[in-house]
Chain A
Amino acid sequence: MLSRAGILSGQQCKNIVALSTRCMATTPATSTSADKPSQPAFQRPVRQQPGKVRLGFVPEEWFQFFYKKTGVTGPYAFGIGLTTYLVSKEWYVMEHEYYNGLSLLVLCIIGVKKLGPAIAKYLDKEIDEYEAGWNSGRESEKTALNAQIKEEETHQWSADGQLMLVAAKRENVALQLEAAYRQRLMNVYDEVTKRLNYQVERQNVEQRIAQKHLVSWVVKRVVSSITAEQEKQNIDKCIADLAVLAKV
């Protein structure tokens, strides 16, 4: 593939060197401990994006190379010119295999564009599951440790609540004293008012009885003082009144 030609340019050079030599260090690529200052620490290669290409196989660096002199359309013009030259001079012969290749190329492009993403997603999923399976032990241990740390912190926070409890106990003591004090006040008040009310009630009762007795005595005397002839006069008057009333 033509992109291999672009390997020796740009930043990919260093990676090839690193891949070809065996890494001696077992520390990860992102390790921050620098405890091997004697030998230059070979960075472990981490997965990178592939080199950028245009049209699927032409490296981006070539376009950058052309940009200064010929602008944006330079490489394309160069490519068209070159292919035209090769084809017109029959240096590149379009014979049977060429047309086979062309059809195959079209089919390949269609296949990659249509099925590529789906297959890539499926394969990535499988890889992710595989990786997750390997990492699950460490991950579960990490979550367990974090949970334990959280639990310890919650326990400490709860322990502080004991001080609030002591404040509540103090308040309970104060409330009990207050309750007893109020009870005493009310006792005194009740006793005093009880006695005074008793006196008032006694007065009222005596007055009522005296009044009732006097009234009944007066009524009895009045009734007994009505003579017989007064009674007869009263009855005659009542009958006359009734006659008058009946006439109306």
Chain B
Amino acid sequence: MAAKRVAKSSIDWAALAERVPPHQKGQFTQFKSKSDLYLRRVLANPESPPAIDWAAYKAHVKVAGMVDEFQKQYSALQIPYPPDTVSAQVDALEKEIKNDIAKFKTESNTRIEEYKKQLAYIASLLPYDQMTMEDFKDSFPEQALDPINKPTFWPHNPEDQLDYVDKDAPADEH
């Protein structure tokens, strides 16, 4: 493209920096420093070189015709804008990235659906303050008291039952 671009960055670096995940911040700072380097190189030279004062030179330089020769050639000179060879690669990269993002989003959305389903399941459970002891037995069969099959003494904790073996007790004494 022959158009010259403006000499300032049109990228919102703050917004871009927000989106960088924490484990890629190092890469991002490297990239930004490179971009800043390019910008600095652009700003090192003015957009167009200053005009040459041909009249003054004509007055001072005694060599015959030199200034006229220079002026003619200088104004006829066309400096070509450097050709753009890598934009195609950037476009291909963009397409690839779009595909990757779409794929990631679908996977991520399925995961979100799964989480939402689990949340719905939890919300559908009977709240504890509305449970009766029967409901408790239905929900937690192992923890509920079972006086018919496994009767236990009050207070129905393991330490007070007959077959409790204390781990910290000393070994059997005679």
How far, in angstroms, from A181 to B78 measured CA to CA in the complex? Answer: 11
Q: 19 A-B pairs, CB-CB below 8 angstroms?
A: A26-B135, A46-B130, A141-B122, A145-B118, A153-B112, A155-B104, A156-B104, A158-B21, A161-B19, A167-B11, A171-B11, A172-B35, A172-B38, A175-B38, A178-B5, A182-B45, A189-B49, A189-B50, A196-B61
Asked, given contacts A29-B130, A158-B19, whether A168 binds B11 with beta carbons under 8 Å apart, the answer is yes
Chain B residue nearest in CB terms to A44: B130
B55 within 8 A of A: no
Which B residues form the contact surface with A (CB < 8 A)?
4-5, 7, 9-12, 15-16, 18-21, 31, 34-35, 38-39, 41-42, 44-50, 52, 57, 60-63, 66-67, 70, 74, 77, 79, 81-82, 84, 86-87, 90, 93-94, 97-98, 100-101, 104-105, 108, 111-112, 115-116, 118-119, 122, 124-130, 132, 135, 138
Instruction: Report B-chain residues with C-beta under 8 Å of the C-beta of A164.
Output: 11-12, 15-16, 19
- Are the C-beta atoms of B115 and A149 separated by less than 8 Å? yes
Interfacial residues, chain A to chain B (CB-CB below 8 A): 23, 26-29, 31, 33, 44, 46-47, 131, 134-135, 138, 141-142, 145-146, 148-149, 152-153, 155-186, 188-189, 192-193, 195-196, 199-200, 203
Contact check, A196 vs B67: say whether CB atoms are below 8 A apart: yes
CA distance A194 to B66 in the complex (A): 13
Question: Which one, A157, A188, A200, contacts B60 given CB within 8 A?
Answer: A200
**Contacting residue for B79 out of A141, A160, A173, A185, CB 8 A:** A185
User: Which residues does chain B contribute within 8 Å of A46, judged by CB atoms?
Assistant: 130
Most buried by B among A33, A141, A179: A179
Given contacts A23-B132, A152-B108, contact A170 B124 (CB under 8 A): no
- Cα of A80 to Cα of B85 in the assembled complex, Å: 105
List of A residues within 8 angstroms of B116 by Cβ: 149
- A186 surroundings in chain B (CB, below 8 A): 45-46, 49
Q: Are B98 and A163 in contact (CB under 8 A)?
A: yes
Is A146 a contact of B90 with CB atoms below 8 Å? no
What residues on B are CB-neighbors of A180 within 8 Å?
A: 82
Which residue of A has the minimal Cβ distance to B108? A152
Q: Please indicate the chain A residues that have their CB under 8 angstroms from the CB of B77 in the complex.
A: 188
**A149–B12 Cα gap in the complex (Å)?**
28
Residues of A within 8 A of B129 (CB): 47, 131
Which residues of chain A come closer than 8 Å to B39, judged between CB atoms?
175
Shortest 10 CB-CB contacts between residues of A and residues of B? A161-B19, A189-B49, A182-B45, A179-B41, A175-B38, A199-B61, A179-B42, A166-B94, A134-B128, A180-B82
A177 with B45: in contact, given A163-B94, A196-B67 (CB under 8 Å)?
no
Q: How far is the CA of A176 from the CA of B115 in the complex (A)?
A: 47
Question: Would you give the shortest CB distance from A53 to chain B, in whole angstroms?
Answer: 25
Flag if A138 contacts B125 (CB, 8 Å). yes
A171 touches which of B10, B105, B112, B115 (Cβ 8 Å): B10
Q: Is the CB of A155 within 8 A of B21?
A: yes
**Cβ distance B47 to chain A, nearest Cβ, rounded Å:** 7
A185–B101 touching, CB < 8 Å: no
